[in-house]
Amino acid sequence: MNGGTSARKVIDIIDSQSYEAGYAAGYSEAEAISFDEGYQACRLDYKKRARERKQLKIRKKRRLLYFLKQKVIGVFLLVLTIFVLKLLEGDATVALFTVPLGLTLIFSREKWWMDSYYFETRREERRKE
């Protein structure tokens, strides 16, 4: 048992000598470096999440504008039908095509109007599959 205590004393002496010699400075520097790395990683993660939130907002706005545009085009088709009926003096043949199409564009929650947004979302859906 006595040998174990003297070994501890030797280890304590070596530790205290190495501390006085400046070897412990490496530990504190490594601690500071790892703290900085963790802080930078946290900042990068925050920036990434903020960018993702911004992109999600943009996607939602584009979707809203797409469907608003689709509804406006549907209303335009119905108004156009009224003008064509007056122009053709009551011939409602055009109405057989424009009224169902206009109503579909107004009330549908699916994408019917083909524009750049439509094709972009189609490409994204194909990539996901």
- Of 5-9, 74-78, 96-100, 112-116, the range with the lowest mean pLDDT is 5-9
Query: pLDDT by residue (tens digit) across 62-99?
Result: 999 999 999 999 999 999 999 999 999 888 888 999 99
Q: Where are the domains of the chain?
A: 2-128
Give me the residue label for tokens 């003096």. Answer: 89
Predicted confidence at residue 6, as pLDDT, reads 76
Give me the residue label for tokens 């009330």. Answer: 107
Query: pLDDT by residue (tens digit) across 15-60?
Result: 666 665 555 555 556 666 777 788 888 888 999 999 999 999 999 9
pTM of the model: 0.63
Give, in degrees to the nearest 5, the angle at Cα 121 between 116 and 125. Answer: 150
